Amino acid sequence: MTRAVRLLLASAVYGFSVGAACSLRFAALNLLKFPLLIGVSVSVSAGVYFLVARLLAPELGFSAVRRLVLASYADLADLLAAFAPVTLFLAATLRSPTSTVELGEYPSFLAANIALIAVAGVLAVGRQAAALLGRHALPRGRALALVGGWLAVSLLVGGQAAWYLRPFFGNRAIVDDGSFCQGSRPDYRGADSFFEAVYQLAVPPGRAR
Of 45 and 187, more confident: 45
pLDDT for position 25: 85
Of 143 and 172, more confident: 143
What would the mean pLDDT of 70-88 be, rounded to a whole number? 95
Report if residue 208 sits inside a domain: no
Three-state DSSP state, 15: helix
pLDDT for position 110: 87
What would the mean pLDDT of 55-72 be, rounded to a whole number? 93
Report if residue 196 sits inside a domain: yes
pLDDT for position 209: 46
Of 191 and 126, more confident: 126
pLDDT for position 170: 66
In the chain, what is the greatest distance between 2 CA atoms, to the nearest angstrom? 55
Report if residue 123 sits inside a domain: yes
The one-letter amino acid at 29? L
Q: How many structural domains compose the chain?
A: 1
Q: How confident is the model at residue 172 (pLDDT cuts 50, 70, 90)?
A: low
Report if residue 26 sits inside a domain: yes
Q: How confident is the model at residue 26 (pLDDT cuts 50, 70, 90)?
A: confident
For residue 186, whether the previous peptide bond is cis, meaning omega lies within 30 degrees of 0, is no
Report if residue 209 sits inside a domain: no
Please give the Cα distance from 133 to 119 (Å, whole number). 21
If you average pLDDT over every residue of the chain, what do you get? 87
pTM of the model: 0.87
CA-angle at 8, arms to 37 and 197, nearest 5°: 25
Domain of 86 in residue numbering reads as: 3-94+102-203
